[in-house]
Structure formats: C-alpha cells, structure tokens
Structure 1
C-alpha cells in the first residue's frame, strides 16, 4: 500500500465525523459533502508527517472550511425534508464507527438544525465543535482567531441560546444534569461498570496545567481509562452548572478548587477539568442544590 493509499484510508475512516460536523454547520447535505471534499484537498497538500493528531486536525480544518463558507455566504442553509434525515455517507460494518460522535450528531434532529441557524457563524462553529464533538477550546481558538477563554465565553453564550430555543433531549440541561449526577454517584461509590456505561467509548478527559499539578491528568481517552481515573473519586464534588453546562465543583474551605464541565449527548463524550485560580474566577458557576 502506498503512502497515498494509506492517507486515503485514514481520511475515509474520518469521513462520517467530518460530514456530520459540516452538516451541522451548513444545514445541507450537498454543502457538507463539498466541505468534506475541500478538507481532503487541504489534507492532500499538507505536510502529513507534521500532523500529530489527524482526527483533530481534520475536525478543526472542516470547521474552518465551514466557517469560511458561512462568512462568505456560500452556504445555502437548505431546510429540505429530503436531507433532514439523511444517513452518513459511509456506514461502518458490524457496529458503531470509531468516531461515533458523527452518528450521534446525525440523530440530533431537525429541530436543533433550525436552532443552529439562529446562531452567528462563529457561535455555531464553537457550539458544534465543542458541545457536539468535544473538541477542546484550545483547539478551536486558532480556528476562530480568539483566545481559549474567549472561546469558552462564546460557547457559553451559544449554549444558553440553543438550550432556550430547543426541546431536543441532546441539549436538554435537565437531562444532562441527571447523567452527570449519576456519574458522580457512581464515581463516589466506586461502581466502575456503571461509570463505563455512562461514558462514550471514545470519551476524552482533559485537565489544565493546574489540575495536572494537583494529581490529575492532562488528557485521558477511552471509557475504561476515564472510568478508572474517576473510580472511587468525586467524594467532595457537588453538582453545578459551569458556564451553562452540566458540571461539578470541588469546594474546600469555601473556595472552589476544581470545576468540571461535561459534554453530554446520549452519554458523556467529554470532561474538562479547570483548576487554575484565574480561570476559575472567570467561570459562571451555579451550584445545583
């Protein structure tokens, strides 16, 4: 197999995810396919040896392509019932695709797509990449030419707007809170199998530098590894909303030491841990009594 053949194979494995991102951004299957093709052209011209995380590079690149299209007015924002329920272009054989967030996003429903069209291009990109595909704020920041804290604020604003307008269970804050509460209870009680069941198989746990210094981890991937990390922990965590997202706080002596925010679709696909005092002060947190 040639290097080109291998690159094509790796790209095709990511196509369902890329198409789902583009479809959520552009609202049209035809536009989504064009954006994915543009992403392939950019990949074919890139220095692949310099790309450490190909799935992440492709996801942010297709997001950038979609953002450019929205800003230039190239996207038509079709609202055709012929495309609203269309399946991904590539169906994996024998089960869920490794990038299963794509399939989850395809099932979100027409109502959410209509809501997304009310967001500005930057808000839409941030919401789709972070809240539906668990892409980190650090990765999104260069795409929209903003700082990570600014991207977090954009995500919070977009999240509130989407939640106030959509009845879709995927973005229902009450349902998300229940999933997080169940996760925290399983963590405290050391119920490993229950933790695994609440996590997406490809969940990503990310912690900031301060969290790592406190004994956390910069990044953990996969349901078993993340469940193992949390198993028996969360003893002092209390449910909260963090920048409008379901989350938890660890409060010691009246001071918040950690803030955890969760990205929840049908299961938890992303967890972010913030321990940096300056970052904590900038978060909008509400303890869920």
Structure 2
C-alpha cells in the first residue's frame, strides 16, 4: 500500500508540474508576437529574432516565474538583453564595418491581405529604411532607442540591461534618436499611393521606357542592392544614385519584370520576383511626393530561401 500511495503522490506531483509548465507556456505564447517584434527591430534578422525569442523562453523556464510580477516587462527586458549580447558579439566578430549595400531581412506578405487601418499595428510594420539606419547604431544605442522609442519601455527598466544609470541610458536613446531622425527618409504611408507609384515603375520597366522610369524616380534616388555577403564589393552588390543611373539599372533587369508581383514588404508595397528557376529578389521602396526616393533590393539566395515567397505572392 505504501508503494501504491507513494506512486500516486508522485503521479499527482508530476501532473501538477506538467500543468504548471503548460500554463507557463501559454502565458509565454501570449507575448511571443511582441517579443519577436522587439527582437526583429533589434537584430534585423528573422532567423536571429526567432533564436532570441527561443532563448528568452529557455531563460523563463529556468527562472522562478512565480516571483515575476510583470511578466511582459520581464520578457521584454530579457529579450532585449539576449539581442544586445548578439549585437555585441556580431560587432566583435566583424572586422570591417557593415557596408552600405546591406539590406535587412524583409517580412513579405500578400498584398491582398493589406488592411490600411491595421498595418501600423503589425509587428513587421517597421520599414526596411528604418532597419537600415538602426544597423548604423552602436548596440547599446540601438537597445535604448528600440525599447524606449518603439516600445515605450521606461529608462529605469532599460538601464539595468545596458548596465548604466537611467540618465546615461536616456542619453543613449537621445543620441540614437538624432541619428535616426537625420538618416531616415520621409515617406508616404498610404498603401494606395505607394501601389500607384510602384505600378508606374513596373510598367515603365516592362515596357523599356527609360524616360517614364526617370519620371517616377526622385532626382536623387538611391538604389541599394544586397546580393549577399560573398558578393559584397562585387558588381552584384552595389549602391547606385541618381534617377538616370538607377533607371538604366532598372532597364538592365527588365527581363525579370514579367515575373515581378507586388507584395507587402514590412507593411509597405514592394515587389517579389520569382522566375521559374526560383526566388530572384525582394524589393522595398520609399515613396515621397509621388516619386520613389529609395529602393532596397535583397537578392541573396541564401536569405531569400526561408521567406516562402510563393505563398506571399499567391496568398
């Protein structure tokens, strides 16, 4: 009887333990989307963002969850710390500064799914233009700016993560804010207007109409093409400036225009290109005053492969 009673007690404890774990997992899942958004803004990489969220979950399972009064705040701070460590490690490994051809991982969805009133609320609504600027910040600056300016985390909560005083953390965010405001291009937010301008660009490209291309481009337009780390510095990866030069580049790739389809790229209208041979590129644009001011093209096969572009184009 003693063995039977003991076994029953152990079974009950085991059941209780499993229930607690499941309850904790459910609570964590409620915050996963938010944590992914934080990590993506911090890292500019979808894969690394998922890894950071998973690491946060592992840290939660090792912590005394009953002692955590504000789970959302705790998870946000831990995710921030994991991302900060990744950024510092990335900076330490990098022998040379990241060159200007780098384009962060895009979040691609079907254009048909767009709801103009909801796009700004999505975790992927941060544009590639802002992510490009965030790549120029120091890791501590990026953390302070992302957590405070984008997610309204108080400086008193951020300070322990960067191991500084709240006043010093405020200065980090202020310095980052000045750099972001000075480098992030202004843009039209209306999806209908973006679509209209991009349709004109694609039509001119498909028709080989050089002057029409020039007309839809800002005179000082900047084209950034990222073909991958192995190609950086080569002709495949480049930064091109000026409407006529960018228009010439667009005509060079006009053979891909028939397979180009409009999609949502980080909450704005962009283009995914998938010829029969497989994914070729994803392009995001910045539109201001009815003309394209910036184009961001990712054509790195290794980074395009996980994006499930066919679903984004046909969904």
TM-score (norm 2): 0.46
Identify the match of residue 111 of structure 1 among 113, 129, 139: 129
Q: How far apart in 2 are the matches of 1:79 and 1:39?
A: 27
Superimposed CA distance per residue, residues 124-168 of structure 1 (whole angstroms, 9 cap, x where no aligned partner): 000000000000000000000001111111111110110000025
| Aligned match of 2:60 | 43
For CA contacts below 8 A with separation 6 or more, give which structure has more relative contact order: 2
| Aligned match of 1:174 | none
- 1:7 Cα deviation from its structure 2 partner: 0.6
Identify the match of residue 106 of structure 2 among 80, 84, 87: 84
Q: How far apart in 1 are the matches of 2:124 and 2:47?
A: 15
Identify the match of residue 123 of structure 1 among 107, 118, 141: 141
Task: Give runs of aligned pairs for residues 1-289 of structure 1, distance below 5 A.
Answer: 2-73=19-90, 83-86=105-108, 103-168=121-186
Q: How far apart in 2 are the matches of 1:125 and 1:4?
A: 30
How many residues matched? 158
Q: Which runs of 5+ in 2 are unaligned?
A: 1-17, 110-116, 189-315
Higher Cα Rg, which structure: 2
Superimposed CA distance per residue, residues 17-42 of structure 1 (whole angstroms, 9 cap, x where no aligned partner): 10111111111000000000000000
> Relative to 1, partners in 2 of residues 1:128 and 1:105: Cα closer, same or farther, differing over 3 Å?
farther
TM-score (norm 1): 0.50
Please tell me whether the aligned partners of residues 144 and 158 of structure 2 are also in contact (alpha carbons under 8 angstroms).
Answer: yes
Q: How far apart in 2 are the matches of 1:105 and 1:116?
A: 16
- 1:104 Cα deviation from its structure 2 partner: 4.2
Q: Which runs of 5+ in 1 are unaligned?
A: 88-94, 171-289
CA RMSD of aligned residues (A): 2.8
Please tell me whether the aligned partners of residues 105 and 132 of structure 1 are also in contact (alpha carbons under 8 angstroms).
Answer: no
Superimposed CA distance per residue, residues 54-86 of structure 1 (whole angstroms, 9 cap, x where no aligned partner): 0000001000000001111289999567x4124
| Aligned match of 2:226 | none
> Relative to 1, partners in 2 of residues 1:61 and 1:168: Cα closer, same or farther, differing over 3 Å?
farther
